[in-house]
Structure 1
């Protein structure tokens, strides 16, 4: 008799081993539903440092709308953030954890009107909130789910971003005058020609600029106005190959495993999640897999630089665990600069006979949805590294990582283990390879402001 697989829990039960299910997952890499390149990814990277870029974020993120008198209470009960004074025309980076203090998901909250919030980003946080709104005593309605789609006709809103040294001058021209004063991570309004847009001052890699949005039925007209006016400001559209690079150089770690795959207390949630949904399509990879423990891929808010957001002025899921977390367990997010000679060795191994190292694809070396490699000091594990990217501006391979605070020192020398053990997993994205010790240098400031 065939047992149907309808939920994430069904999928885990059928696999019999959650670690093997994720480590050998047959999912391919996520492909952004946008054109991969408009010119070439090298010039597209340079543009946000030297001129300005146009990024179309209308297609790849989930936008879920929550409305009702208990919206803020719902958000507060399941988020580490404080909501004191939160209201209309405010935005917030939101982090939701499980009871053990590990991150289920993060997203950006946009409150355009009182008691009406959209949750934008990867679906993990929004899914958790939808579930809690359904089973809990909350006067909240999910009014719209705007899923990722290559077709704007499937979406309620467009969402664009213009960033770089020339961004303000371009947007002022389109606005017909000076832009309003919108502090960092605050919301405001301005015009793109005849169209009013809502905007967030959300800097990418420290460069000036804004993320802004409006109704999808005017998306093409707004885009064309920007591209035409942008010619004199050297505006460069960027494609999907560059999107993950912008995240990494902005200090955002987007590739972690949602902390939902283990624990009896999360079983009901896994039974609610679909077998083909966001969580179920995850894969894990990298040298952390040597432990064969899924929970080694879970991360706390401190690991990702969100520790300062944890406010213990309210009760929330995960509060007790985070309050008890020992100081030495509160890792610090850093940038790791890979040794160029070791990176060259990785590429050179493909051109020689004998063992080959795991290839680093350009410009993003991710081969799992949740990649994680062991970071060591003198052969002892001290932290983790996430997917490497090549930064043309830095002429280096870099990755974000989480290490003890006492090691987060400019120039601290560490190493990481690149690649998977025993020749690699069965993931279709993994070729046969041997592991490589890569020397790395610590930059304690993961977000560059120069």
Structure 2
């Protein structure tokens, strides 16, 4: 088994606890190594609602290519999802939990060929799968292609997202004919600019579209063809600022704190995992127990993806969680006057509130802000920012069922006390911001679109 040079276990030991390590981590939050804006993030956000957005996903995610006769068995052993009818040219959201049934992470799993898969996403789920492969007995070979922050040279694949009401028309124009019939989260292939392109039928914030991918060397050629085909269809290249905020509309929490710092079997994993992949923790919620930051799949509305039709790590514990679903994912719409006052505190003498950057205000890889109901904690706000299409500042949160009804008035505590030593944290004071419970996804079109699928 390949050990990484400086492991998570030693980093936690040096810091005194997992919470202390994450709270004061010097690493930056997730960086998207593409241009922040091609025009401006407000117009770029609006493009996936009004015309068609072109997003470059080639650089910020990790790919783990798995090939071998035991590849499917490895994935089944680790995922809460069912693999019935998971044939070639299909994809799914891969969700993994620890032995206690708490979420480690999720990613998108592509079934590319017989016995050949590509797991794509943040490193949390990818690391877990790679560790289980290296420590287990599987006839599988793995090839890891890290994101452009850690990888020398270009990525193995280009990956472009086309989303919006004109996305399908753009693809048809680019391929010079009708799109092959393909269901949601199924794949097809066609030719663009003389090269074969694989395409996942996908949707972002409920809008129709495709995720296109192929060899990196062909990526610029394909992108130029897409821009040319979309010139009269309102195609808008979207930078990292706009792209990073799209999840607020779709209702996906991108990086819950992974349940890897405690629990059965995690000592060996911490000895294997590199300390640089620990991440950073931000937000007003404060507990010395790392377990208090963990969530279950049910807390994030992944229950519909859980299938107890196979054995997997954490199954017995997850069955117990299924019988006691205490929290629910919601959107919290922050009070406009309170948000304006927090931003306005920058212009008033005295200690200001924590800076609210737009469009996304998460300042750690994992965000955990306290949510109160009449002074009692009822949940965690986990990702926040501004949606230009809705003209609201909102967050995705997991809230006690008793306080999760649409229209319920709650309070988010914004800012840390005491201030941590993360480089992105300035001296500030905590403020209370009123918030109203709304559905997740927030956008009605996205809610009906995803549920229909």
- Scaled by the length of structure 2, the TM-score of the pair is 0.94
SS of alignment partner, residue 345 of structure 1: helix
Shift of 1:326: 6.3
Moved over 3 A (4+): 150-153, 326-330, 405-408
The answer to whether the 8 Å contact 1:333/1:446 transfers is no
The answer to whether the 8 Å contact 1:6/1:274 transfers is yes
The answer to whether the 8 Å contact 1:207/1:449 transfers is no
Q: Does 1:399 align with 2:395?
A: yes
Q: Does 1:431 align with 2:426?
A: yes
Q: Does 1:229 align with 2:229?
A: yes
Shift of 1:199: 1.2
**Pairing of 1:235-246 with structure 2 (within 5 A):** 235-246=235-246
Aligned to 1:149: 148
The answer to whether the 8 Å contact 1:29/1:368 transfers is yes
Residue deviations 1:53-74 (CA, integer Å, cap 9, x gap): 1001111111110011111111
Measured in 2, the distance between the counterparts of 1:414 and 1:190 equals 49
Measured in 2, the distance between the counterparts of 1:432 and 1:327 equals 43
Shift of 1:27: 1.5
Aligned to 2:294: 298
Measured in 2, the distance between the counterparts of 1:326 and 1:79 equals 16
Aligned to 2:451: none
Measured in 1, the distance between the counterparts of 2:26 and 2:317 equals 34
Measured in 2, the distance between the counterparts of 1:221 and 1:99 equals 46
Shift of 1:412: 1.9
2:363 is aligned, of 322, 346, 367, to 367
Bigger shift: residues 261-270 or 217-226: 261-270
SS of alignment partner, residue 154 of structure 1: coil
SS of alignment partner, residue 27 of structure 1: coil
The answer to whether the 8 Å contact 1:248/1:400 transfers is yes
SS of alignment partner, residue 379 of structure 2: strand
Measured in 2, the distance between the counterparts of 1:315 and 1:328 equals 20
Measured in 1, the distance between the counterparts of 2:374 and 2:82 equals 40
Measured in 2, the distance between the counterparts of 1:365 and 1:225 equals 34
Measured in 2, the distance between the counterparts of 1:226 and 1:363 equals 26
Measured in 2, the distance between the counterparts of 1:186 and 1:331 equals 31
Bigger shift: residues 175-184 or 402-411: 402-411
1:288 is aligned, of 285, 288, 313, to 285
Aligned to 2:349: 353
CA distance change for structure 1 residues 132 and 167 in 2, over 3 Å: closer, same or farther?
A: same
- Scaled by the length of structure 1, the TM-score of the pair is 0.94
Residue deviations 1:156-186 (CA, integer Å, cap 9, x gap): 2110011111111111111111112222222
CA distance change for structure 1 residues 187 and 169 in 2, over 3 Å: closer, same or farther?
A: same
Measured in 1, the distance between the counterparts of 2:264 and 2:309 equals 28
CA distance change for structure 1 residues 177 and 187 in 2, over 3 Å: closer, same or farther?
A: same
Measured in 1, the distance between the counterparts of 2:155 and 2:283 equals 35
Q: Which residues of structure 2 form unaligned runs of 5+?
A: 446-453
Measured in 2, the distance between the counterparts of 1:425 and 1:168 equals 47
SS of alignment partner, residue 387 of structure 1: strand
The answer to whether the 8 Å contact 1:105/1:124 transfers is yes
CA distance change for structure 1 residues 310 and 387 in 2, over 3 Å: closer, same or farther?
A: same
SS of alignment partner, residue 287 of structure 1: coil
Shift of 1:265: 2.1
SS of alignment partner, residue 292 of structure 1: coil
The answer to whether the 8 Å contact 2:333/2:436 transfers is yes
CA distance change for structure 1 residues 153 and 368 in 2, over 3 Å: closer, same or farther?
A: closer
CA distance change for structure 1 residues 134 and 96 in 2, over 3 Å: closer, same or farther?
A: same
The answer to whether the 8 Å contact 1:153/1:216 transfers is no
Shift of 1:5: 6.7
Shift of 1:446: 1.6
Shift of 1:129: 1.1
SS of alignment partner, residue 300 of structure 2: coil
Aligned to 2:140: 140
Shift of 1:222: 0.3
CA distance change for structure 1 residues 409 and 264 in 2, over 3 Å: closer, same or farther?
A: closer
Q: Which residues of structure 1 form unaligned runs of 5+?
A: none
Q: Does 1:320 align with 2:331?
A: no
**Pairing of 1:73-112 with structure 2 (within 5 A):** 73-112=73-112
